[in-house]
């Protein structure tokens, strides 16, 4: 999120590879621990896709476009702040 250019591309590649491993661990399971939320599910709760079917997530999660705008604004502000150093 705080990188640009080639560094950002490499970080995205690594993140994608990591998410693919996690996705493989979820195959056939509702949660990492099976049928119940466990420590890993809570720790990785920022991965919205794991929890989309849960009613309490649907009720509390902001719309995808608002969340994306928020993350973009945080990134732009942080990059601008770093550029000023």
Q: Which long-range contacts (CB under 8 A, 24 or more apart) does 44-52 make?
A: 47/19, 47/22, 50/26
pLDDT band for 35, please (50, 70, 90 cuts).
confident
Burial of 31-65, coded b for 16+ CB within 10 Å and e otherwise, reads bbeeeebeeebeeeeeeeebbeeeeeeeeeeeeee
Domains of the chain, earliest start first: 5-83 (1.20.1050.10)
What mean pLDDT is predicted for residues 40-49?
67
Please tell me which residue, 78 or 46, carries the higher pLDDT value: 78
pLDDT surpassing 60 at residue 50: no
What mean pLDDT is predicted for residues 10-35?
82
Report the share of the chain in percent with pLDDT over 90: 0
d(CA 67, CA 52): 15
């Amino acid at each position: 999120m705080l990188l640009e250019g080639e560094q950002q591309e490499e970080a995205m590649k690594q993140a994608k590879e990591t998410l693919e491993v996690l996705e493989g661990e979820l195959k056939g399971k509702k949660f990492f621990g099976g049928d119940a939320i466990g420590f890993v599910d809570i720790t990785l709760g920022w991965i919205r896709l794991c929890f989309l079917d849960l009613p309490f997530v649907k009720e509390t999660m902001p719309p995808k476009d608002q969340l994306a705008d928020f993350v973009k604004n945080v990134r732009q502000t942080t990059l601008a702040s770093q550029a000023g150093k």
